[in-house]
Amino acid sequence: MADTPAMYEQHRSKEEILSGFTTVEQLEADTAKLRELACAACAETWADRSAGQTPHCRFGEEGICCRICSMGPCRVTKKAARGICGADEHAIAGRHYLRMAAAGSAAHSDHAREIAYVLRQASPTGSFPIRDEEKLLSLAAEWGIPAAGRDIYDVAHEVAEAGLNEFGKPFGTQRFLSRATRERQALWEKEGLAPRAIDREVSASLHMTHMGNTAEPEPLVRQSLRVGLADGYGGSMISTFFSDILFGTPTARASEANLGVLEAEMVNLIVHGHDPVFSEMVVLAAEEKEMADHAKSLGAKGINVVGLCCTANEVAMRHGVRMAGNFLQQENVILTGAAEAVCVDVQCIFPALGPLAGCFHTKFITSSPVARIPGSIYMPFEPDTALEQARAIVKLAVENFVNRDPAKVFIPSHKQPAAVGYPTEQIIRELDGVTNSHVDERGSYMPAIDSIKAGVLRGAVAMVGCNNPKVRPDYSHIEIMKTLIRSDILIVATGCAAQAAAKAGLLSKDAKYMCGAGLRRVCELVGIPPVLHMGACVDISRMMLLVNEIANDWGVDVTRLPIVGCAPEWMSEKAVAIANYVVATGIDTYLGIEPQVKGSAEMMRLITEGTRKITGAGYIINTDPHALVQAMIDGIEQKRALLGI
Ligand code: BF8
Ligand code: SF4
C-alpha cells in the first residue's frame, strides 16, 4: 500500500512520535472552541440539548414506560406494578428491547435492499458497472447461479434477484448462514434462531410486541437474537458483498482523520450517512476536471471531499477519501464555517443540521425519501441519473464557496494519518505476505492463530459503535483501545469506533509504539497498525466472516476463541441489532451504555446470563471504561485458560 510520509518518519524518536498523537483533551478543546463559534452564530449543539434533556425520564431510561397502545402510556411504579392490560415490567422492557433490535435490522437491511436494486440495474455503460467480478462469480457459485458462458451482467442481475429474495422468501432461512461454523449453524437450528426472510423476522418482531401478544421476556429475547441474525447474516452481509461487487472490495490504503482534513482554501464537500451508492457518485463527480476548473474559476484551490460517520468509512477504504469525524462530530464540521455543502443519505444524521446549516453558508442536501429533514435542500437520488445528480450537488457546493464568511471560519488543525481498508481478504493477504502459508483458495489465518496460541497476541477485540453524550465522546473508545493494545490485544474496528481510533492516531502504523511488545512485533512483522479498520457498521458482517473463518481454521467453535466485542459508546437501534447477532454468534459483548431494560430484573438477567445458556455468550455491562476494559482482558484470559493456552 502507499503510505503517507507521515506514517514512516523514521528519523523521529519514539517519544516525539508518541507526543504527536491527538489526545481526547485536544479533541475536547477543539469542540469547545467550535461551540464558542456556535454561540456567536446563535446556534446550539448536542451538548446544549443534552443538558436540556438530563436527567432523563427514569421510566424511559429503565424501559418500563409503554405506549404500544392508546390505553397508555403506562408506566410501572411502586403503586402500579402493571400497565392497564396487565403487562408487567418484564413484558414492557422486553417488548421495547425487541422493537429496538427489529428497527435496527430493518435499517441495515433496507440499506442493503437499495444496493441490491442498484446491482439489479448494473450495466457496463451506466453509473454502476461491476468492479469486482471475482467476488461476483464466487458468490454466484456459492448460491448455485450458473455463470459459465453468460454475460457477467446477466449473472449480476440474477445474483441481485437472489439477494432480493432473501428479504421476502416464503420458505427457508438466510443463505449466508452457511458462512458460520457448522456448530453455530446446528445450534441456531436447534434453538430456533436461524433467521427466515429478513422482512419476516422484522414483521414477526413487530407482531410479537403488538398489544396483546408476547408478555414473557425469554421469547422476546430469543426473537431479538433471531432478528439480529437476520441483519448480521442477512441485510448487513448482503450489503457488504453487493457493495464490494459494485464498488470494489476495499484494500489497505492511506487516509487522514479529524477536522484538520478540512481545507481553508478549497471547496469543502462533506458526504455523510451510510449508503455508498450515493457517496461513491459524489466522490466520482468531484474528481472530474471540469469541476475542479470551475472551483478554481471561483477562487478556490480545488474541491476537498471528506466523509462523516459510516459514509466516511466507506469512501475512505475504497478511495482514501479523508475522514472528518464520527457521530458527535457532525455539527462541528458545519461549525468550522468552512463547509460548503453537507450531503447526506440515510441514518445517524442529526435533524439539528438543518437549523445549524442555516446559521452558516453551508448547503445541507438530503437525498433519500427515508431521511427527509427540515432546512435541507431535497434532491432525491435516482440510480438512473446518479452521476448527473452528483454533478449538480458538486456544482452547488462549488458555487457556494463565494458565500463563505471568512470571519466565521475556524478549522482546528488536529489530524492524524490512518491506514484504512482491512476486510478479511486484506487481512489474509497481509498474513500470507509474512508466512506464505496459503493453504487453500481462501488463504489461512494460521499465523495469527499461532501468535495467539503462543501468547504473543493475547486475543482480539472487535470495537464497534457510536458516540453517546451519556459518556465523554470518544474517551471510552480511545482509553479502551489504548489499554487493549498495550495488553497485546489486536483490535478490529468499524463505524464510529474506527473513526475515534483514526482521530487519535490509532489507525496509523506508528501506533505500534503504544503497543505491548508482542503486538508491536506482530505489527512490525506483518506491516499493519494495531487497530485494523474493517469499514462501516454494516461491515461488522466482515467481522463475523473473520471470526467464523478463524474458528474453522483453529478447529474450535467461535465461543471458545479469545475474541470479544465491545461497544463502549453505542446509541442506535442498529447497535442493538448488531449486539444481538454478535451474541448469537457466540461472542461476549461488552457494553459501556446500559440497554434500556434496567427496570426489569428478569430482562437484565436474560441479556447478561440467559443468552449464555442459549448461544454461549452474553452482555457484560459497565459504564466505567476502565472497569469495562479490565473485564474484557479478564474475559479474554479466562477463555485462553479454558483453551489451555
Ligand atoms: O452505522 S456507529 S453513530 S454512523 S449507528 Fe451511526 Fe453508530 Fe456511527 Fe454508522 Ni453505526
Ligand atoms: Fe399500557 Fe398494555 Fe397498552 Fe402497553 S400495551 S400501553 S402496558 S395497556
Kindly state the average pLDDT of the residues 267-286. Answer: 96
**Which residue from 111, 309, 591 has its CB within 8 A of the most atoms of ligand 1, so it is best to mutate?**
309
Q: Give the pLDDT of residue 4.
A: 46
Q: Is 72 in the pocket of ligand 2 (CB under 6 A)?
A: yes
Which three cell numbers, joined as nine digits, stand for 20? 504527536
3-state secondary structure 14-41: HHHHHHCCCCHHHHHHHHHHHHHHHHHC
State the ligand closest to the CA atom of 464.
1
pLDDT tens digits along 465-495: 999 999 999 999 999 999 999 999 999 999 9
Q: Which helix (H) or strand (E) holds 535?
A: strand 531-535
Q: Is 83 in the pocket of ligand 2 (CB under 6 A)?
A: yes
**Which residue from 270, 317, 348 has its CB within 8 A of the most atoms of ligand 1, so it is best to mutate?**
348
Would you say residue 440 has pLDDT above 60? no
Of 603, 641, 635, 631, the residue nearest 63 (C-alpha): 603
State the ligand closest to the CA atom of 236.
1
**Cα(417)–Cα(447) distance, rounded to whole angstroms?**
27
Would you say residue 388 has pLDDT above 70? yes
Ligand 2 centroid to residue 507 C-alpha, Å: 48
Q: Which residue has the higher pLDDT, 4 or 353?
A: 353
Kindly state the average pLDDT of the residues 131-150. Answer: 98
The protein residue with its alpha carbon nearest to ligand 2, atom 2, reads 85
**Residue 10: pLDDT band with limits 50, 70, 90:** low
Please give the number of the atom of ligand 2 that sits closest to the Cα of 84: 8
The protein residue with its alpha carbon nearest to ligand 2, atom 5, reads 211
Would you say residue 209 has pLDDT above 70? yes
Please give the number of the atom of ligand 2 that sits closest to the Cα of 73: 6
Q: Give the pLDDT of residue 442.
A: 67
Domains within the chain, CATH numbers bracketed: 22-46+259-408 (3.40.50.2030), 87-247 (1.20.1270.30), 416-643 (3.40.50.2030)
Would you say residue 441 has pLDDT above 80? no
Ligand 2 centroid to residue 281 C-alpha, Å: 46
**Which residue from 496, 533, 534, 543 has its CB within 8 A of the most atoms of ligand 1, so it is best to mutate?**
496
The protein residue with its alpha carbon nearest to ligand 1, atom 1, reads 537
pLDDT tens digits along 289-299: 999 999 999 99
Of 188, 217, 226, 225, the residue nearest 606 (C-alpha): 217
Q: Give the pLDDT of residue 13.
A: 87
Would you say residue 3 has pLDDT above 80? no
Would you say residue 320 has pLDDT above 50? yes
CB 356 within 8 A of CB 496: no
**Cα(414)–Cα(418) distance, rounded to whole angstroms?**
13
**Which residue from 347, 350, 466 has its CB within 8 A of the most atoms of ligand 1, so it is best to mutate?**
466
Percent of the chain having pLDDT more than 90? Answer: 93
Ligand 1 centroid to residue 282 C-alpha, Å: 21
pLDDT tens digits along 121-134: 999 999 999 999 99
State the ligand closest to the CA atom of 535.
1
**Cα(107)–Cα(446) distance, rounded to whole angstroms?**
36
Which three cell numbers, joined as nine digits, stand for 149? 458462458
pLDDT, mean over the chain: 95
Residues with CB under 6 Å of ligand 1 are 274, 309-310, 326-327, 348, 465-466, 495-496, 536-537, 572, 574-575
Q: Which of 36-50, 539-553, 585-599 has the lowest mean pLDDT?
A: 36-50
pLDDT tens digits along 621-643: 999 999 999 999 999 999 999 99
Please give the number of the atom of ligand 2 that sits closest to the Cα of 87: 7
Please give the number of the atom of ligand 1 that sits closest to the Cα of 327: 3
Q: Give the pLDDT of residue 274.
A: 97
Of 562, 509, 503, the residue nearest 532 (C-alpha): 509
Ligand 1 centroid to residue 461 C-alpha, Å: 18
Ligand 1 centroid to residue 499 C-alpha, Å: 10
Q: Is 87 in the pocket of ligand 2 (CB under 6 A)?
A: yes
Q: Which residue has the higher pLDDT, 328 or 4?
A: 328
Would you say residue 439 has pLDDT above 80? no
**Which residue from 347, 349, 470, 541 has its CB within 8 A of the most atoms of ligand 1, so it is best to mutate?**
347
Ligand 2 centroid to residue 390 C-alpha, Å: 47
Kindly state the average pLDDT of the residues 608-627. Answer: 98
Distances (CA, A) of 475 to 33, 104, 324, 503, 516: 18, 25, 17, 11, 21
Q: Give the pLDDT of residue 359.
A: 95
The protein residue with its alpha carbon nearest to ligand 2, atom 4, reads 66
Q: Give the 3-state secondary structure of residue 126.
A: coil
Would you say residue 98 has pLDDT above 70? yes
Q: Give the pLDDT of residue 37.
A: 86
**Residue 437: pLDDT band with limits 50, 70, 90:** low
Of 247, 275, 239, 244, the residue nearest 127 (C-alpha): 247
Percent of the chain having pLDDT more than 70? Answer: 97
pTM of the model: 0.96
Q: Give the pLDDT of residue 2.
A: 40
Please give the number of the atom of ligand 1 that sits closest to the Cα of 494: 2
Please give the number of the atom of ligand 1 that sits closest to the Cα of 108: 1
Q: Give the pLDDT of residue 443.
A: 77
Q: Give the pLDDT of residue 99.
A: 98
Number of Cα atoms under 13 Å in the Cβ half of residue 103: 12
State the ligand closest to the CA atom of 275.
1
Please give the number of the atom of ligand 2 that sits closest to the Cα of 82: 7
Q: Give the pLDDT of residue 40.
A: 85
Which residues in 3-41 are b (16+ Cβ under 10 Å) and which e?
Answer: eeebbeeeeeeeeebeeebbebebbeebbeebbebbeeb
Would you say residue 277 has pLDDT above 70? yes
Would you say residue 379 has pLDDT above 90? yes
Q: Give the pLDDT of residue 8.
A: 46
pLDDT tens digits along 556-602: 999 999 999 999 999 999 999 999 999 999 999 999 999 999 999 99
pLDDT tens digits along 398-434: 999 999 999 999 999 999 999 999 999 999 999 877 6
Kindly state the average pLDDT of the residues 104-112. Answer: 98
CB 203 within 8 A of CB 103: no
Of 288, 153, 166, 182, the residue nearest 234 (C-alpha): 166
Ligand 1 centroid to residue 309 C-alpha, Å: 6
